[in-house]
Amino acid sequence: MEETLQKMDAFFNPCSVAVVGATKKVDKAGHVIFKNFATNKERGVFKGELYPVNPNETSILGFKCYKSITEIPGEIELIVVIVPASIVPSIMEEAAAKKVKTAIIISSGFREVGNKEIEDQVVAIAKKGGIRVLGPNCLGVYYHKTGIDTLFLPETKVLTTGEEVVATPRPLPGGIAMITQSGAFGVAALDYLTGRQMGVSKFVSFGNKCDVSESDIIHYLLYDKETKVILMYIEDIKAGREFLKIAKKVTAKKPVVVIKSGRSSAGARAAASHTGAIAGSDKIYDAAFEQCGVIRARDMEEFFDIAKALAMQPPAMDKNIGILTDAGGPGVMTVDECEALGLTVERFSEETLRKFQELKDQNIILKIAATSNPVDLTGSVTDDMFVMAADLMFQDPKVNGIILLGLHHMPGLREVYIDGIKKIAENYTKPIVMCDIGETEMALYTRSRFDRLGVPSFTSPEDAARAMKALVAYGAYLQKEGHAEQYMDTFKKTSTPKS
């Protein structure tokens, strides 16, 4: 591994951590963060050395407290800094003296409020001392496996009724890396991903990115075996050329999905006062993302939907989509959205049409069913019909991916077809996504079961179409750049859905 990547690794796998600004005061970020580490160490998740640093304490949560970093006997790989901005430069001087590898500066009060000078000072000291700095003005890192957890927002809250409820949950392990310039959006994303049972490999909130930038992080994640898809929220990119170069390297192997906010002029103004971002022309961002294969989501829901599709399914190798439904109206909605997104829903090949006709002749599917694409098996659908039809569609060389609308309301449909669809899909390298509409038991069950089997489920026809569109766009990019074959090989080896 290159030296720069090795150093980045100390953010996620440090042998020793000092929490500078650790405190006993229960409502302080310095307490919450130290306690996260202490608890994770106790549980055997965090296996490194842990040192609280605070000149006013002798011990915190049973750990011997040090007056300064330099007093700590052993080596320190990572420091987490939660002290007022004005003191941070002196802390960094000590860290440099101690040969610390990495620093997460949680504190705010830097460039984002006009204190450019202190931030510049921190950067200069870090550079001289060879320390990589994440932040300032950030939430830092969450990595389930090594117990790195610098999130200081309360995991639960107690309502006025006396009930304790989950407020900022930690997600399950999984293939999605979430990196973000906005801490608030970051924890909101963790909350969303947790609730939707989408697993996270690494979480990084990088705030003002005075040193470590989105480019550094995605470069590190390129080599991270646990990460299959990278989700990125940004308000600006400072070193554009570097980003293009690195992103291009990353997207050859892993999809990168971005929300770039500050699109509008008022939005750019708001972003400037938020993270000091200079948003720049939105069209330039569009062009840059396209050039380096980064997929831009147009809104939050699409952001997560695309991530789910790319994490579970292979990309589509062309843009003609087969639609399979038991519900006419939602079928039409799906066709509409596909065409609006530049996908096509063409008539099947003659052979496929013939095979469907045979099924009709044998009374296996209804004579009145539409079977030229979309396939509408009507309210008379059964589990078997769905599976058979999907198989015929997968076989059609003109079909590059399938959108399945499995509306569970139809009387003849049970949940049996779900496993059947999964089994059929395994025989092909084409993507499949599904939609069931509804927010009560059977809809929730159906979607959750499909998700668990690695067939991404969506709550509306349009969401399913948008997810498929991302699979088509990423497939087109990989082919254009000549990476498709290698990507598919890796994808097949690493896709292991739970059952």
* CB 126 to its own copies: min, Å: 24
Alpha-carbon span 428 to 433, nearest angstrom = 14
Element (H, E) at 278: none
Q: Decide: is 332 part of the binding site for its own copies (CB under 8 A).
A: yes
Residue 480 sits in the site that holds its own copies (CB under 8 A): no
Length of the chain: 499
Among residues 74, 130, 154, 173, the one that binds its own copies under rule CB under 8 A: 154
CB of 63 to its own copies, least distance (A): 23
Distances (CA, A) of 433 to 118, 229, 336, 407, 450: 50, 17, 17, 13, 9
Angle separating helix axes 383-395 and 416-425, nearest 10 degrees: 10
Contacting its own copies within 416-445 (CB under 8 A): 416, 437-445
For the CB of residue 147, give the shortest distance to its own copies in the complex, in Å: 21
**Interface region with its own copies, contact rule CB under 8 A, candidates 49-57, 128-136, 267-275, 474-482:** 267-275
Within 171-230, the residues that bind its own copies by CB under 8 A are 180-185, 187-189, 191-192, 194-196
CB neighbours of 45 closer than 8 A, spacing ≥ 6? 144, 145, 146, 147
Instruction: Choose which of 124, 166, 278, 287 interacts with its own copies (CB under 8 A).
Output: 166
| 284 is an interface residue for its own copies by CB under 8 A | no
We find the least distance from the C-beta atom of residue 166 to its own copies, in angstroms, to be 4
Count of C-beta atoms within a 10 Å radius of residue 322 = 26
77 vs 305 by CB, closer to its own copies: 305
Residue 337 is a binding residue for its own copies (CB under 8 A): yes
Q: Which of residues 35-64 bind its own copies (CB under 8 A)?
A: none
Q: Is the peptide bond before 136 cis (omega within 30 degrees of 0)?
A: yes
| Options 81-89, 119-127, 140-148, 154-162: segment touching its own copies (CB under 8 A) | 154-162
**Residue 277 CA: distances (Å) to CA of 244, 259, 398, 451:** 18, 14, 45, 37
133 beta partners:
103
The arrangement of strands across the sheet holding 78-81 comes to: 49-53, 16-20, 78-81, 102-105, 132-134
Binding of residue 281 to its own copies (CB under 8 A):
no
Contacts of 324 (CB under 8 A, 6+ apart): 374, 375, 377, 386, 389, 390, 393, 402, 403, 404, 405
> Under the criterion CB under 8 A, does residue 393 sit at the interface with its own copies?
no
Q: Is residue 263 close enough to count as binding its own copies by CB under 8 A? A: yes
Assess 463 for contact with its own copies (CB under 8 A): yes
- Residue 338 near residue 293, CB atoms below 8 Å: no
Q: Which CB atom, from 77 or from 376, has the smaller least distance to its own copies?
A: 376
For residue 408, the tally of other CB atoms under 10 A from its CB is 21
Residue 264 found at the interface with its own copies (CB under 8 A): yes
Print burial letters for 143-182: b (CB count within 10 Å at least 16), e (below 16).
bbebbbbbbbbeeeeeeeeeeeeeebebbeebbbbbbbbb
Segment near its own copies (CB under 8 A); pick from 13-21, 149-157, 384-392, 426-434: 149-157
Binding mask 63-102 for its own copies (x = CB under 8 A): ----------------------------------------
CA atoms within 13 A on the CB side of 183: 24
| Residues 108-147 within binding reach of its own copies (CB under 8 A) | 113
Q: How far is the CB of 484 from its own copies (least distance, A)?
A: 27
Which positions ≥6 away from 350 have C-beta within 8 Å?
A: none
Q: Are 232 and 180 in contact (CB under 8 A)?
A: yes
- Taking CB under 8 A as the rule, does residue 407 contact its own copies? yes
| 288 to 127, 291, 453: CA distances (angstroms) | 29, 5, 35
Q: Return the number of the residue (31 or 219) whose C-beta is nearest its own copies.
A: 31
Asked if 385 touches its own copies (CB under 8 A), the answer is no
Residue 223 or 445: the one with the smaller Cβ distance to its own copies is: 445
- The reply on whether position 299 binds its own copies by CB under 8 A is yes
H/E run at residue 465: helix 461-480
Stretch in the footprint of its own copies (CB under 8 A) among 72-80, 148-156, 248-256, 477-485: 148-156
Q: Site size for its own copies, by CB under 8 A?
A: 89
Q: Which of residues 351-370 bind its own copies (CB under 8 A)?
A: 368, 370
Nearer to its own copies, 240 or 438 (CB): 438
Residue with Cβ nearer its own copies (226 or 235): 235
250: DSSP letter: H
**CB of 32 vs its own copies, minimal distance in Å:** 9
Scan for tokens 């949950």, then name that residue: 169
